[in-house]
A = this chain, B = another copy of it.
Amino acid sequence: MVKKLSERQEHILTYIKDFLDEHSYPPTVRDIQTGCNISSTSVVDYNLRILQRDGYLKRETEVSRGIELLGSNKPKIQDFVSVPILSNIAAGDPLPVTTQDNWNHENTETLDLPTFLVDGKDDVFGVRVKGQSMIDAFITDGDLVLLEPTTNAVNGEMVAAWIQDNQEVTLKHFYLENGTVRLQPANPMMDPIYVPADKVSVQGRVVGVIRSVN
C-alpha cells in the first residue's frame, strides 16, 4: 500500500523540512498555510492528517507546533562524534600525538561519525592513508583509518606503529614476543616485520576503517 503523495503534500513536507532547517522548532498550521499558498487552515490540517496516516510525520494533538517528521524526512538530531582528521602526514613522519587537550578545535579538520564506530573508545582520531607504506591487505590508498591513541597494544591488535629505523608509520597486526615486536601484515602473502621492541612505538590501535569510492 504505497500511497503516492499529491503535489500539495510533497510541498507541505518539504516546507516543514525547510522550516526546521531555518528555525529550531516546527511550523504552525498557519505557517504552512502561508508558506504553501493554501487558502485555509483546514486544508493544511486535512493534508497533515493524510501525511500522518501514511507515516510521514507524527502529530501531537492540541499541541502547538506538535509536528514531528518521520522516516527519511526525519532530521537526525543525534549523537555523533566529531573526530579530528590528521591530514598532510608526510610519508616518513610519525603521527603527531593528538589528544583532546592539544588539538585545535578551530584549525583541525574534523569529521562527524556515527557513534557506533567510536563506541567505548577515547580520543579517536582519523588518518587519511596516503602512499603505499601504510597499506595492508584490507586497507588501501585513500582510506580513512580511525585510531585510538595508545602506546600499549595487545597482541593481535592492528596498530599504527612507528618504526624508527625505517622512519615510517605502518599499519600491522602487533605481536610482542620476548623483546621483539612482530608486525604481521593481514595479507598472508606478505612477510612479517621483526623489530626490536625499543625501536618501535605503537601510536594507536585501529578501531575502524572508512572508504569512500569516488
Residues of A within 8 A of B (CB): 2, 20-21, 23-26, 28, 55, 60, 63-72, 74-80, 82, 100-102, 105, 111-114, 116-117, 137-140, 143, 158, 186-187, 189, 205-214
Given A76-B78, A117-B212, A209-B210: 13 more A-B contacts, CB < 8 Å: A2-B102, A24-B75, A24-B77, A70-B105, A71-B105, A72-B82, A72-B105, A76-B77, A80-B114, A137-B138, A137-B187, A140-B186, A206-B213
What residue of chain B has the Cβ atom nearest to residue A4's Cβ?
B101
Closest approach, in angstroms, between the C-beta of A13 and any C-beta of chain B?
Answer: 14
In the complex with contacts A64-B64, A207-B214, A25-B23 CB distance below 8 A: no
Q: In the assembly, how many copies of this chain are there?
A: 2
Residues in B neighbouring A209, C-beta threshold 8 A: 209-211, 213
Closest approach, in angstroms, between the C-beta of A4 and any C-beta of chain B?
Answer: 10
Assembly CA distance A23 to B63 (angstroms): 11
Closest approach, in angstroms, between the C-beta of A187 and any C-beta of chain B?
Answer: 8
Q: Is the CB–CB distance between A20 and B55 below 8 Å?
A: no
Q: Is the CB–CB distance between A68 and B24 below 8 Å?
A: yes
Closest approach, in angstroms, between the C-beta of A199 and any C-beta of chain B?
Answer: 26
Question: 9 shortest A-B CB distances, which residue pairs?
Answer: A24-B68, A209-B211, A76-B80, A64-B64, A138-B140, A75-B77, A208-B212, A25-B65, A71-B105
Residues in B neighbouring A26, C-beta threshold 8 A: 24-25
Closest approach, in angstroms, between the C-beta of A94 and any C-beta of chain B?
Answer: 21
In the complex with contacts A2-B101, A24-B26, A80-B78, A138-B211 CB distance below 8 A: yes
Residues in B neighbouring A211, C-beta threshold 8 A: 138, 208-210
In the complex with contacts A80-B80, A138-B211, A210-B210, A66-B116 CB distance below 8 A: no
Q: Is the CB–CB distance between A111 and B112 below 8 Å?
A: no
Q: Is the CB–CB distance between A25 and B101 below 8 Å?
A: no
